[in-house]
Amino acid sequence: MMRNCWNTLGLGRFLALAPTLGMALGLALGAAPASAQPWPARPVRLILPSAGGSGPDTIARIFAERLSRTLGQPVVVDNRPGANGVIGVDAVAKAPPDGYTLLFASSSSTVISQALLHKLPFDVTRDLVAVAQIFSGGIHLVASPDFPARNLKEFVALVKANPGKYDYATWGPGSTGQLVMEYLKRQEGLDIRHVPYKTIGQIYQDMQGGLVKVAFVDATSSVPLIKTGKLRGIAITGSHRGPALPDLPTMTEQGYRFDTDAWYGVFAPRGTPAGVIAAVHREILNTLSAPELRDRFVQLNLVDPPLKSAEQFAQTVRTDLSLWQGIAKANGISLD
């Protein structure tokens, strides 16, 4: 090539063009490595389908801060609340599948929304890739201190003896709390009315004011209220007691079997390359193994991260979706 250039242009003209030719050659050679840069080569956006200042927001930001240290790149939490999580989940389902837009979501905003809404713009098992489960745990059934029942057996007996007398609150229609209570109602023949709230904070306020006596709430924000006696813990759902309240037994331990755990997990859009999924999964597990993060999760009453493989988490998603669909169908619960 150089000999042809010299013959055609002359040595002087070739030398004059050399910088331009070198730049073009450099760009051509550099194009392939640039497109194949290992993940992550830039900041990662973590979409959260919950409002700022909520329990999920606290968990997501603690996780994101530690993940950013693991990656050496900023991990930015992007709150997209609304429509039972549909807005945030849909944003990720439609995002570029490159590993730089990920979903941090609960079982409530993914599989439960899928079970209750039949006209979604996405399908959780089709349009999202389950990457890593962050933790598993339960939710709390709580009561005001003056509520007559002190445990789940007493609660069931009291409600049975007083049909239609009591209400229970949750953080919204179709919430995990509503589905669990409707399941218990069906199993035990209870007559207790659902009062949906927009936020858990509003539930606490009305419980302190005596407007509502019983509620299902998250297992993190309720801990200090239970410890100080402002609320009474009746039971925790799921397969484990919470580490911050080891004396509060599960529903199953009290004779009312309900072992399905709530969880948070990270998802990627469908079509994300397998190599990127593997890298995201590996770095998340490295993050979850950090002792300070595990200690912080315990303080928040979250069970130690299960450290599942991506496929194990995907199977959890499929299994839980089938279970919640069954509960919703049996109790006639739909948000359509």
- Contact, 135 vs 304, CB < 8 A? yes
More confident residue, 36 or 135: 135
Compute the Cα dihedral for 310, 311, 313, 318 and give only its sign. positive
Distance CA 149, CA 254 (A): 13
Distance CA 129, CA 285 (A): 16
Residue 303: predicted pLDDT: 80
Tokens of 3: 């000999």
197: pLDDT strictly greater than 60: yes
Residue 46 pLDDT grade (very low, low, confident, very high; cuts 50, 70, 90): very high
Q: What does the H/E/C string look like for 111-164? A: HHHHHHCCCCCCCHHHHEEEEEEEEEECEEEEECCCCCCCCHHHHHHHHHHCCC
Residue 29: predicted pLDDT: 41
69-90 pLDDT, tens digit each: 999 999 999 999 988 889 999 9
Residue 305 pLDDT grade (very low, low, confident, very high; cuts 50, 70, 90): low
Tokens of 184: 């218990």
Residue 132 pLDDT grade (very low, low, confident, very high; cuts 50, 70, 90): very high
How many CA atoms lie less than 13 Å away from 166 in the CB half-sphere?
24
Residue 15: predicted pLDDT: 40
Portion of the chain with pLDDT greater than 70, in percent: 89
145-165 pLDDT, tens digit each: 999 999 999 999 999 999 999
Q: In 3D, which of 24, 60, 28, 40 has the Cα closest to residue 220?
A: 60
Residue 9: partners with Cβ closer than 8 Å, 6 or more residues away: 17
What is the average pLDDT value for the chain, to the nearest integer? 88
Q: Rounded to the nearest 5°, which phi and psi values hold at 51? A: -75, 155
Using DSSP, state whether 263 is helix, strand or coil.
Answer: strand
If you search the block for the tokens 């194990």, which residue do you land on? 312
- Contact, 333 vs 116, CB < 8 A? yes
Domains of the chain: 44-136+261-330 (3.40.190.150), 139-254 (3.40.190.10)
Using DSSP, state whether 279 is helix, strand or coil.
Answer: helix
Distance CA 117, CA 111 (A): 10
- Contact, 213 vs 167, CB < 8 A? yes
Which DSSP letter does residue 174 get?
A: T
Distance CA 168, CA 177 (A): 10
Residue 110: predicted pLDDT: 95
How many CA atoms lie less than 13 Å away from 88 in the CB half-sphere?
28
